[in-house]
Structure 1
């Protein structure tokens, strides 16, 4: 009976989760698959940080939360919107996340951050045109922590795989591919692709499933909802500490998986981390 009440409470809480905040209208990446014609794509490293959007006056996360960066970090930025990644270096996602999320992070934490800019959403023209404008705009002598993401032309699938493996060996997350002729569209699109050694995605927690056996008395699994509305149970990848204090209902989590079944649900999904840059 207790387990049923816990599950029902979680489902009811999911119904009353607040709607999204006013999120920046950002271009979102699809997943690269072999066979994509590569002739018009640019390639860059995929930075494992927090998506940042500069609206010309202040910084925002992808989820629409304001970023409390020190004045010196943003005062030299141009008054034109910029899309990028707030990044602390390879393998330092935790530092980037804690710094961006904190309302009181000091200069020492922000001195280790970079704003890796990869697009100018408000600039007219295709990506190749916007890229040229970005390269004219950056770097800024007064703000070397504002960096235009290096781009190179894609060639072949084999070359992409080799570059991805090299990047990952150096501590990177993977690659991004951006179609040169694409306009900036605030949607998930094949004009922007990610290539990583594993698949991952985000889902919203809608309920906690009580554990059994060795997990009795703590969370056994999460019921999560994908952006397309499909739901599934996420039960592996958690530490005992995470099971004792699981991600709250309404929060977003990232999970890894190995492809999808015919219905589109992820296969062998396992928890990776909480996405604290997305509002509950």
Structure 2
């Protein structure tokens, strides 16, 4: 276990070299800010880099940091104090490239102009969020072709990363706090992070969040420099696993579910098939997901044959 933990935290010289090649050359002081004619604050930041080809209408490769799933916080017990912990919001990932908001897939998010008009001209990464247990309502609002102001007035943009910025994660968070403080945009905030002293602190916080219908926690190595892609320094920890599978058939209900859907037959990307019959509201049973669509489900563990244990429906899966 100690060897595993040390390997997680070890930053080899080759990784350091690759990260430095991605970083900006320097950070100008955030001590003086002015406002341009168009209302965007002129916040001195690192020299921008080209995220996508000239003339492209949307990014082909956003600078996203993707966390790895963690089964147990004790896997990091040898150096848990090196990490910062935050709540994992059940929101929609949104990347601001300095001009436009994008889904994780690179598709444009049709946010109202007033929502982003004071955002800075450098990248920011975070979650669009309406609150705990509000994902379905949020998802419908942010995916409309025509944004509705009434819905967007209830949405916050919660930041957790300053893409491509110099410095370790702790410093990048401080930069985000400085920027948000200057901008004074009511719906723009930084997700709170706390320093860790023990694995028990993580477990207690996770238990507390579960009672509040939160999704889980994220653990980020405080000393990690920015590196896009699936990260070896960022972990997501949830009490249950989740995954996506394709609907291949719909089984009719019996008893109290007579005349409605009783269960979905799903197929995983690995070709495993199983029935999913719990977690559905009556309205979802009356109008079940279509055959060929994908759904997200939660489960505790896998059987020896690779099938999910205690699987429960979460939502119809959106590609972004």
1:259 match: 301
| 1:200-251 Cα distance to aligned partner (Å, 9 max, x none) | 323142522544766788574232334xx45332422234543443323554
1:103 match: 145
Contact 1:210–1:216 under 8 Å retained in 2: no
Aligned partners of 1:91 and 1:64: how far apart in 2?
25
Q: For structure 1, which segment, 198-207 or 114-123, has the greater mean C-alpha deviation from structure 2 after superposition?
A: 198-207
2:21 match: none
1:34 to 73, 91, 94: 73
Aligned partners of 2:134 and 2:271: how far apart in 1?
32
Residue 244 (structure 2) pairs with residue 203 (structure 1): yes
Larger Rg: 2
Q: List gaps (5 residues or longer) in structure 1.
A: 1-20
Mapping of 1:12-161 within 5 angstroms? 22=60, 24-29=62-67, 30-35=69-74, 36-37=76-77, 38-161=80-203
In 2 relative to 1, CA 142–134 (structure 1 residues): closer, same or farther, beyond 3 Å?
A: closer
1:179 match: 221
How far is the alpha carbon of 1:142 from its aligned partner?
4.2
Q: For structure 1, which segment, 79-88 or 247-256, has the greater mean C-alpha deviation from structure 2 after superposition?
A: 247-256
Q: CA-atom RMSD, angstroms? A: 2.8
How far is the alpha carbon of 1:133 from its aligned partner?
2.2
Q: List gaps (5 residues or longer) in structure 2.
A: 1-58
In 2 relative to 1, CA 185–67 (structure 1 residues): closer, same or farther, beyond 3 Å?
A: same
In 2 relative to 1, CA 162–259 (structure 1 residues): closer, same or farther, beyond 3 Å?
A: same
Aligned partners of 1:185 and 1:46: how far apart in 2?
20
Aligned partners of 1:217 and 1:144: how far apart in 2?
44
Q: For structure 1, which segment, 79-88 or 132-141, has the greater mean C-alpha deviation from structure 2 after superposition?
A: 132-141
User: How many residues align structurally?
Assistant: 255
TM-score by length of 1: 0.78
| 1:167-192 Cα distance to aligned partner (Å, 9 max, x none) | 33344332211112334444444522
TM-score by length of 2: 0.69
Task: Report the 3-state secondary structure (helix = DSSP H, G, I; strand = E; otherwise coil) of the residue aligned with 1:90.
Answer: coil
| 1:237-277 Cα distance to aligned partner (Å, 9 max, x none) | 2345434433235543221101223465432222111133x
Aligned partners of 1:53 and 1:156: how far apart in 2?
32
1:3 match: none
Contact 1:252–1:274 under 8 Å retained in 2: yes
Aligned partners of 1:169 and 1:206: how far apart in 2?
31
Task: Report the 3-state secondary structure (helix = DSSP H, G, I; strand = E; otherwise coil) of the residue aligned with 2:207.
Answer: helix
1:236 match: 277
Contact 2:244–2:317 under 8 Å retained in 1: no
Contact 1:32–1:193 under 8 Å retained in 2: no
Aligned partners of 1:264 and 1:181: how far apart in 2?
36
Residue 262 (structure 2) pairs with residue 223 (structure 1): no
2:20 match: none
